[in-house]
Chains A and B, each alone.
Chain A
Amino acid sequence: MLFDDHKPASLSRRTLLHAGAGFAGSFMLPASFIRPVYAADDKPAIGTWPAGSQGDTVYIGATVPRTGAYAVQGEDELKGMQLAVEHINAGSDLLKQIAPKVDKGVLGKKVELVVADSGAKPNNAVQSQQTFINDHKIIAMTGSTSSAVAVALNKFAEREKILYLVAISGSNDTTGKDCARYSFRQCVYGETCANAIGPVLLKNFGKGKKAAFMTPDYTYGHTVTKSVNDYLTANGGWEMVTNQISPLGTQDFSQYLTNIANSGAEFIINVNWGRDAVLSVQQAKQFGLTPNMKMVIPYQIPFLAKEVGAELTEGVFAATDFWWTMEDKYPLAKMFVDEFQKKYNYRPEWGAENSYMQFAIWARMVSEAGTFYPPDVIKQYEKGETFPSMVGDVKFRPEDHQLIRPVVIVRGKAPKDMKNEEDFWEVLDVVPGEGLMQKPDAFGCKLGDYT
């Protein structure tokens, strides 16, 4: 007989009876007897702790855009995460430089990544992370390429009491008015970029210029535009003659470009990002606006130059997180670029560098804290210890959980000056982070509770 439906039934009935007896019995025991070991040192269960770290493997949930206007950047970001996880589990040399206590996993556990497509939409990201919490008891979440997603996940992380490692997010709000106790950001953002690129623009182009802004219509765009405009107005007497606000995912920028053509602007400050930036840069050229008007990209876009070609990015000033030629100056950058290129066959852009660093920092903090217990890990971040990174020594600011790190200023190379097919940008300056940041409470950050 192929299916004996008596045996399983009787088995399960017996199991059930046992379980029931155990369950009933447990009520009769004094509370101290059934409290698990972990609770002995005053660490009550919180978020997915301790369930999420009891097995051999801990999971990190990543919601990155694999479709939509930010898909290209999301894919690069994901590759950075995958390489980091591989390095954490192998205890690679590069990772150990950032997190010395990591040895084949974190606190003896393997790390695994679970991934979903967010399409750069906050709702999708939150829903997927909720699923990861239910299915995998993730101990940390990550992913964002739109600051709208980052801000949503900040709030979600705070509610669920699960760490959130911000991926790409340039909005001031992410560690400003929407900051969260459970959230940490590695990358540069609007205010730091504005303060880093502002002096470069004034030095190269002088004072009293007229600028047209192109702004994507959400938290990232509005805060970056405000920071850049505030700097240029206050320090150089520049005037914003028009601000063209377009929705994320705009295809045809002709209406906005026509407005700019008729605005009398001398500069286009393009805050658009991802595919929006690719299309707006290409179409600005079609309309003959560039190179007559100078283009500035205050928050540089990974793969922009690759997609539009060096002819269109030549001479364009941009502020960024990382560019691969920094390997000449920083040994860790060199190790990272080499390893990444070996695995993926292209040089990483800053999305990949940012997510790799976020994972390496997380591994450092957990291994230094000696526990996955979220409040302890957070307090480890908040110690503000200095540690090495691909752009020199860095540390977290405890008041808003923003990494204090340099901003890199680059300028687009002419096609004839490129030494290889990915040599798009020349690094002009690496501006120390300390002086670029606003006061910790200037953007209204109030961190939430630990528990």
Chain B
Amino acid sequence: MVNWANFISQCFNGLVLGALLALISSGLTIIYGTLGVLNFAHGAMFMLGGYAGWVAYDYTGSFIVALIAGSLFVMLVGVLMERLIIRYFYARPQEDQILVTFGLGIVFVEGVRFFFGSLSKTVPPPSLFQGITNLGFMVYPTYRLALLGIVAVALLALYFVLYRTRIGMIVRAGIEDSVMVGSLGIDVYKVFMLVFGIGAMAAGFAGIVNAPVVSIAPDVGEAILVQTFVVVVIGGVGSFPGAVLGGIIAGEIISITSMFNPGYAYVMLFVAMTLVLVLRPYGLLGTAGRE
């Protein structure tokens, strides 16, 4: 017997989790799709966003300031990371890129642990979104509903930048043929720096948006990174719409499985990933890829 109130609530949970995963994954997939870099520090970016936002919140008491400061800080970290380290790795084997980004992730996590300790930090939701909303058929935390809206706006903004602006056009052209774009007199490498910054910012933004839901600790990025990679694989590596679709699928699989047997939630996620890899090796919305 299915309890419908529970089923609908779980679908909502899945949507909220999925939206968050979509946002983080879009950053990961933009960086990979454009630069070919598998950024294993992406989870740490998510964590950094949370901490930067928390610090900003601590000083100002404003959630909006926390959101902006957190995002910009992580974007800056992304840009610096690209300028100082990552750009020397574009031409090197993928193993080197994985190792260096993985190492950077550890440095970020341990740095945060050194400065802030392991006790978790909480950012309360903005007063507008506090409490619980009664939707008639169920009650749901107001902030989680708001989070759906916030993430949707962020994803639309990202989509707009990537698909409706000149920068986006250059980025997408750069994915296809960076030599050709370069020969048109466009500094591809400046664009690459920007792409890395935007990708990092998506993770950082997600980090602070998520802070009122799951309080932040140095290790929060670690768990989310694995799920993010699964999302990217399901959706199609390098595909922005794929990240969104993959995120929502992953969120729903985790939530709906949890309703029946929580122990199998992550097993089912990996089963889904395996099925996709068998039936559509490039992911649901992926194409044959750059290699």
Contact = CB atoms under 8 A, between A and B. Distances in A.
Nearest to B215: A282
A255 B120 contact: no
A258 B265 contact: no
Contact of A251 (B3, B113, B143, B214): B214
Nearest to A288: B132
B120 A278 contact: yes
B268 interface: no
B5 A255 contact: no
A261 B120 contact: no
Interface stretch (B85-93, B186-194, B218-226, B236-244): B218-226
The range of chain B's interface size is 35 or more
Given A258-B6, A258-B10, A278 B255 contact: no
A246 interface: yes
Nearest to A217: B263
Interface stretch (A67-75, A353-361, A365-373, A383-391): A67-75
Nearest to B259: A259
B37 interface: no
Nearest to A255: B258
A245 B119 contact: no
A250 to B, nearest CB: 8
B118 interface: yes
A306 interface: yes
Contacts of B132: 287-288
B62 interface: no
A249 interface: yes
A69 B220 CA distance: 9
B44 to A, nearest CB: 13
Given A72-B119, A252-B213, A261-B9, A286 B17 contact: no
A92 interface: no
A259 B215 CA distance: 21
A286 B6 contact: no
Contacts of B10: 255, 258-259
B255 A255 contact: yes
B274 interface: no
Nearest to B133: A288
B42 interface: no
Nearest to B134: A288
Contacts of B141: 286-288
Interface string A243-272: 011110101101110110110000000000
Given A67-B218, A278-B120, A288-B141, A249 B9 contact: no
A57 interface: no
Given A278-B120, A282-B215, A254 B262 contact: no
A23 B220 CA distance: 57
A258 B9 contact: yes
B31 interface: no
The binding surface of chain B is classed by DSSP as helix
Nearest to A74: B118
Contacts of B270: none
Given A255-B254, A259-B258, A279-B214, A303 B119 contact: yes
B258 A256 contact: yes
- In this complex, the member of A66, A249, A251 whose beta carbon has the largest number of chain B beta carbons within 10 angstroms is A251
Contacts of A93: none
Interface residues of A, number: 33
Interface string B210-234: 0001110111100110000000000
Contacts of B119: 72, 303, 306-307
A68 B219 contact: yes
Nearest to B257: A255
B219 A254 contact: no
Given A246-B262, A288-B139, A254 B220 contact: no
A154 B214 CA distance: 34
Nearest to B141: A286
B108 interface: no
Contacts of A97: none
A287 B5 CA distance: 15
Nearest to B4: A262
A66 B113 CA distance: 10
A275 B258 CA distance: 20
B167 to A, nearest CB: 34
A349 to B, nearest CB: 12
- In this complex, the member of A67, A245, A247, A279 whose beta carbon has the largest number of chain B beta carbons within 10 angstroms is A67
A283 interface: yes
Interface in B133-160: 139-141, 143-144
B102 interface: no
B16 interface: yes
B9 to A, nearest CB: 4
17 contacts: A67-B109, A71-B218, A251-B220, A252-B13, A252-B17, A254-B255, A255-B255, A255-B262, A258-B6, A258-B9, A258-B259, A261-B9, A279-B120, A279-B214, A287-B139, A287-B141, A303-B119
Interface of B: 3, 5-6, 9-10, 13, 16-17, 109, 113, 118-120, 122, 131-132, 139-141, 143-144, 213-215, 217-220, 223-224, 254-255, 258-259, 262-263, 265-266
